[in-house]
Amino acid sequence: MEPTLSDSRPIHGTKNKLGGEPSAEWAALLECVLPQVDVLRLRELFRRVSWPALVRLAEDHSVIALLAGAVRRVEEVGAAEPSVVPADAAQQIRELHRAQVLSTLKMTAELFRLVDLARGARLDSVLLKGPTLALRAYGDTGARHYGDLDFLVRQKDILRATELMISAGYRPEIPAEAIRAEKIPGQYLFVRTAAPLLIEFHTERTMRYFPRGLPIEDFFARRQHVRIDDHEIPALSLEDELVLICIHGAKHLWERLTLVADVAGYVSRQSGLDWERGFATARSIGAECMLNTGLLLARNLLETPVPRGIGQRVEADAAAVHLAEQIAGWLPAAGQQLPGLFARALFRMRMRGSAASGLGYLLRLTFSPTQEDWSGADGRTSGAGFASLRRPMRLAKKYRSGEKER
């Protein structure tokens, strides 16, 4: 039976489809990020939590804005009754949310400036995630945490984009010499010199976590524009962005709840999704299992309703079902209990859906060098062959020490 939103669903404190016995704080946080929050139920869950623990958990999962919104709705509905949210906790949540909103406002203002500069220079670009995803998934550009702005450009335009960013007051992490030598980093990172602000440029060659090469011309041909404060911002099509955020979640092993909430909010708000086009895009780049996993997590953890045929389709993907079960086991820990080196490798293989394609995907991720591989500690760069051999050794050391993936 397809899941539906109702007032009779079981308390999150009981076992759910994907996880074991959750803490009171985890159960409450899941309720806070549902596309449709049951306010009366949430009031009862709020009575059971340790508020310092709940706030820390929301910070760890980058969903402070969604917690703030849920608290506000609970307080509005229960205005005539004693508050279930302690005053100090409510104040802390408001301050954290305010800081996030101020940060996103600064980045959105800079987004407008950079989009105008790119248009003036006739540089084709598309914003990835960030404010456009926040608006599409939550209806509010400040409802989602993002620490940088990400743009997609063609590889042939990256040197011109670098020159444009330098003229705009940014310092490139990747020097022009490396670009001319066709060394491909994980991303082209730019830091504003006047004040801390990060901008990342991605191309069809930096998107290593796409199982197959990014069909950038197709993505540009299907792009749409999202209106933010009277500014038309170039964005991916609805279907391409849905596939992208599922690949992004898979890249990060779905370690934080915000990654699942993005998919849930997106699917719930975007009623005009062309599902067949979305699956066709995923199939063309070998990301069907990643898309199915994202949809399963959104549906089973956050009760996101999907069309009946889509639900049956994703449930038929045994690999995606298995991955979703794994993810639910480590998700509450917000990245503190991710699998080790070999389990991680197996997980990456399974994301491709079959053993043969999974092995090829893993080998490409393992031996495709980024800046960390071709730049030595002394600042000198290595040749492509040596950098490819250095990468697996660096990754093994990195994951044994528990560092985050790049």
Considering the entire predicted model, what is its pTM?
0.89
φ/ψ of residue 181, rounded to 5? -80, 0
CB-based contacts of 300, cutoff 8 Å, min separation 6: 3, 16, 17, 18, 324, 328
Supply the pLDDT for residue 8: 31
Residues 6+ apart with CB under 8 A from 298: 260, 263, 264, 267, 304, 306
Euclidean distance between CA atoms 357 and 288, whole angstroms: 12
| pLDDT tens profile 199-240 | 999 999 999 999 999 999 999 999 999 999 999 999 999 999
- For residue 85, what are the CA distances in angstroms to 42, 56, 336? 11, 15, 28
Q: How many CB atoms lie within 10 A of CB 167?
A: 10
For the cut 60, the answer to whether the pLDDT of residue 7 exceeds it is no
Using DSSP, state whether 170 is helix, strand or coil: strand
- Residue 371 has a pLDDT of 75
Residue with tokens 């929301």: 58
Average pLDDT over residues 370-396: 61
- Helix 288-302 to helix 257-269 angle, to the nearest 10 degrees? 90
